[in-house]
Amino acid sequence: MAYIDSSNKIDNEDKKDKSSENKGCIFCDYAALDKDKENLILARGNVSYVIMNKYPYSVGHLLIAPYRHTASLVSLSEEEKLEIFTFSQKSVSILQKIMNADGFNIGMNLGRVAGAGIDTHLHLHVVPRWNGDINFMSVTAETKVLPEALDVTYRKISYERNTWSAS
Ligand SMILES: [Zn+2]
C-alpha cells in the first residue's frame, strides 16, 4: 500500500525546539501548532488526532496518528490503540455519510520498505473508495494535489462535530 504523501517537506517557520528524534516530523509539528484549520486537522483526542492527507490518494483521504512520536506499532498503549481505532470508525461513518463512500482502504505502511512516506511516526490511512473508481494500484506512483478539493472537503468533514466529539 504505497499510496502515501510524496513529500515530507517542512516549513521552517513555526518550528519549535525539538529533540533530534522528532525534529522535522510533520505529525509532531502539526500536533504542536495551534493552526488546526490551516493544517487540516479535523479532530483531536487525548492521545491521537485526525488530519487530512495533503497529498491524498483520493478525496477524503484521512490520517490518524498518535501525538507520541513513535514508529512502533507494538509500542502503542491501550489508550492509543483504542482511540486510533475509534477515530477510524468515526472517519468511516462520516465519509460514508457525507461522501457516500462505497468502501474503504484502511491500513498502515510500517517502514520505508513498506512504502511509508514518513516512516518515523506511524499513522493509519483511511481512504474512501467508490464503485468504479480508478484501480487502486494504478495511481500509486503518482500523488495528486487537489488544494481546492482539500479545502472543500475539510469544511464538509469538520461540520460533523457531533460524530467527532462523541465518546
Ligand atoms: Zn513525530
Mean pLDDT score of the chain, rounded to an integer? 83
User: Is the CATH number 3.30.428.10 carried by domain 26-165?
Assistant: yes
Is pLDDT above 50 for 17? Answer: no
Give me ligand 1 centre to Cα 24, in Å: 8
147-158 vs 78-99: helix crossing angle, rounded to 10: 110
How do residues 129-153 score in pLDDT, each as one tens digit? Answer: 988 776 444 444 455 545 457 888 8
Domain boundaries, the chain: 26-165
pLDDT of residue 128: 92
143 contacts: CB under 8 Å, gap ≥ 6:
3, 5, 6, 55, 56, 57
Mean per-residue pLDDT, 66-79: 97
Give me ligand 1 centre to Cα 150, in Å: 23
Residues with active-site annotation: 123
List CB-based neighbours of ion ligand 1 within 5 Å: 22, 25, 27-28, 69, 121
Residue of 64, 59, 29 whose CA lies nearest to 43: 64
